[in-house]
Amino acid sequence: MIYNYFISDYVHREHMRSNNNLAHKKSELKKIYSDIVKLNADTPSYLIRPSSDAQSFALQLKDNSLALQNTLKALQSDGLTSAFSYKEAVSDNKDAASITIDTEDYSKLPAPFTMEINHLALPQINTSNVLSADRNFKEGTYVFQIQTEEEPFSFSFHIKKKTTNAAVMQHISQAINRSAVPVSAHTAINTKKNTAQLILESEYTGTPDGNPIFICVDQSAPQKNAGCVNLLGLNNVTQNAQNAEITLDGQEKNSLTNTFKLFNTLQISLQEETETPMHISFTSDSKKILQEINHLAESYNTLVDLSYSHEKPPRLATLMLHDLKKIFSNAHSALKDCGVTFDENGYMKISTDLATKAAQDGKFEDILGKHTSLASSAYQYSQSFSLNPMKYIQDKLIITYPNPTKEHFTNPYITSEYSGMLFNSYC
């Protein structure tokens, strides 16, 4: 049988298919067996030359049709295995806040709600005195600390004679940025006015008790000289740390940061204050659905590509395209409303904007979701390609047709001399 030629080349790929958790249940195997028996009852017997081209085409057609079936099946599945089960948060003010779902149990999501952003969380900013950039800093060794709630961080440096104020500020800035202190620093130099300032900013935002996030304290300085904290004015607070303040359905809440978890299910990242409440609701995850619809188009178009192949043996391209069109023939109008169309060559095309809107509105689930008539018929039509790919081989000699007036002996291992190759996948 032709099976002997196929199994050695294909067994590795089918072994990988099983290892990727795509092994079939006993009930599925029984259903496939029954489908083969039913198909064989009305299938003519014919001889095929088992050339390498014929084998390759049959296996490609089988593999690609199984990929299409898997995509259709994934869209119909229950729970998190279906793209339609995923949800996303939708806001009418995307610029004000980023909102993502941080749970797999969508039953725990809150009801739609309103949120107003009254204040963003702010860091503490200290700005030093404005000093002449080129005036010399006093010579000597200076030690100071930046004290935080967690721990103090000490800095020690020696200033040489004729070192400018700008150079000292840059040296302190580099020392702070190289350390583990949760404060960043930079020097602002005004070249027109020839002045310099040292600016310190906390990495943290908000304050639980209203106290500063950090303070600077002189530890030592050259004899009779003030410390660098005092000389530079490093404790000049020009922006106090501030908590984020929001209003949820009329109730005020606050947070130390602009990023926090809400209702134990949502990750919120505040971006700007709002003048009016923003509305947050939940809908189907359009990205997940669109990804699956694109997979559907890729699988379908691969089959169309195969029908146009010019390799030997000749394909019955017209018959293949005719049968491919049957898969979605009952829903062209509904699919078009969702941004899914078919061009003059039979290829499936996706309009991203229309498809995204359709995914959000639940239209794809109405057409391709579980228990829909299109999903069921599309799966059955796509399955016919894997059950009998030899139907589309041109170089075959038909020996006899079954007698339609009599009951037949339905031997499943005769179906287009292909059943052995098929069971190679499912057993």
Of 172, 207, 239, which closes a domain? 239
Of 228, 259, 284, which closes a domain? 284
Among 79, 107, 81, which residue's Cα sits nearest to residue 22? 81
Among 232, 231, 263, 261, which residue's Cα sits nearest to residue 249? 263
Q: Which of 59-63, 206-210, 213-217 is predicted with the least confidence, judged by mean pLDDT? A: 59-63
Q: How many domains does the chain have?
A: 3
Q: What is the CATH number for 172?
A: 3.30.70
Q: How confident is the model at residue 5 (pLDDT cuts 50, 70, 90)?
A: very low
* Both structure tokens of 214: 């950090």
Sign of the torsion formed by the C-alpha atoms of 52, 55, 58 and 64: negative
Say whether both 211 and 279 belong to one domain.
no
Say whether both 145 and 217 belong to one domain.
yes
pLDDT of residue 17 exceeding 80, the answer is no
Say whether both 58 and 131 belong to one domain.
no
pLDDT of residue 228 exceeding 70, the answer is yes
- Tokens 């500020």 belong to residue: 169
Say whether both 55 and 138 belong to one domain.
no
Q: How confident is the model at residue 78 (pLDDT cuts 50, 70, 90)?
A: low
Q: What is the DSSP string of 66-97?
A: HHHHHHHHHHH--GGGSGGG-EEEEES-TTTE
Among 305, 308, 313, which residue's Cα sits nearest to residue 52? 313
* Spatial distance between the Cα atoms of 189 and 238, rounded to a whole number of angstroms: 18
Q: How confident is the model at residue 394 (pLDDT cuts 50, 70, 90)?
A: confident
Per-residue pLDDT, 1: 35
Say whether both 110 and 163 belong to one domain.
no
- Tokens 């006993």 belong to residue: 26
Determine contact, residues 169/203, Cβ cutoff 8 Å.
no
Among 206, 142, 205, which residue's Cα sits nearest to residue 168? 142
Say whether both 251 and 219 belong to one domain.
no
Sign of the torsion formed by the C-alpha atoms of 253, 259, 264 and 267: positive
Per-residue pLDDT, 329: 84
Q: How confident is the model at residue 27 (pLDDT cuts 50, 70, 90)?
A: confident
Say whether both 116 and 167 belong to one domain.
no
pLDDT, one tens digit per residue, over 115-169 is 999 999 999 999 999 999 888 888 899 999 999 988 999 999 999 988 999 999 9
Per-residue pLDDT, 413: 46
Say whether both 205 and 321 belong to one domain.
no
pLDDT of residue 303 exceeding 80, the answer is yes
Of 284, 311, 342, which closes a domain? 284
Say whether both 213 and 252 belong to one domain.
no
Say whether both 355 and 213 belong to one domain.
no
pLDDT, one tens digit per residue, over 265-287 is 999 999 999 999 999 999 888 88
Per-residue pLDDT, 420: 41
pLDDT of residue 313 exceeding 60, the answer is no
Which whole number is the average pLDDT over 343-351? 92
The whole domain housing 104 covers: 87-121+243-284
Say whether both 290 and 422 belong to one domain.
yes
Say whether both 229 and 252 belong to one domain.
no
Taking the CA atoms of the chain, what radius of gyration do you get in angstroms? 36
* Spatial distance between the Cα atoms of 378 and 65, rounded to a whole number of angstroms: 11
